[in-house]
Amino acid sequence: MSKINLFNFKRRRFAVLSAVLFAASLFFAQACAKKNNDDDKTITLAVIKFKVYEDTAKAWAKEVEKLGYKLNLQLVGVVQLNEVLERREVFANYHQHTAFLREWNRLHKGHLAQAFPVFIDRAGLFSLRHKKIEDLPVGAKILVPPDIGNNFRTFKMLANAGLIKIRTDIPAESVGQGDIIDNPKKFNFVEVDYEIIERTLEEADAGFMYATQAVNIGLDFSKDVLLSEEEGFWSPDIITVHEEDLNSPKIEILKKAYYTDSVKQAMKDSFDGKEIVLPAW
Mean pLDDT of the chain: 88
Q: Domain 123-233 maps to which CATH number in 3.40.190.10, 3.90.1300.10, 3.40.50.2300, 3.50.50.60?
A: 3.40.190.10
Please give the Cα distance from 177 to 166 (Å, whole number): 9
pLDDT at 163 over 90: yes
pTM of the model: 0.80
Q: Where are the domains of the chain?
A: 34-120+235-279, 123-233
Top pLDDT among 186 and 39 is at: 186
Inter-CA distances, 118 with 77, 233, 255, 272, Å: 19, 16, 9, 20
Average pLDDT on 207-235 reads: 94
pLDDT of residue 39: 55
Residue 247, phi-psi category: left (phi > 0), alpha (psi -120 to 50), beta (remainder)? alpha
pLDDT at 230: 92
Write the CATH number of the domain with boundaries 34-120+235-279.
3.40.190.10
Residue range 146-153: average pLDDT?
A: 90
pLDDT band with cut points at 50, 70 and 90 for residue 1 = low
Number of Cβ atoms within 10 Å of the Cβ of 31: 9
pLDDT-derived band at 149, boundaries 50, 70, 90: confident
Q: Does residue 137 have a pLDDT over 50?
A: yes
Q: How far is CA 87 from CA 139, 172, 175, in A?
A: 46, 32, 32
Domain 34-120+235-279 shares a fold with domain 123-233: yes
Rounded distance, CA 268 to CA 52, Å? 9
Q: Which DSSP string do the residues of 34-65 spell out, in sequence order?
A: GGG-TT--EEEEEEESSHHHHHHHHHHHHHHH
Least confident of 16-20, 183-187, 199-203, 272-276: 16-20
pLDDT tens for 67-86 read: 999 999 999 988 899 999 99
Mean pLDDT in residue range 83-100: 96
How far is the C-alpha of 169 from the C-alpha of 27, rounded, in Å? 53
Q: Residue 21: which pLDDT band, with cuts at 50, 70 and 90?
A: very low
What is the distance between the alpha carbons of residues 138 and 187, in angstroms, rounded to a whole number? 7
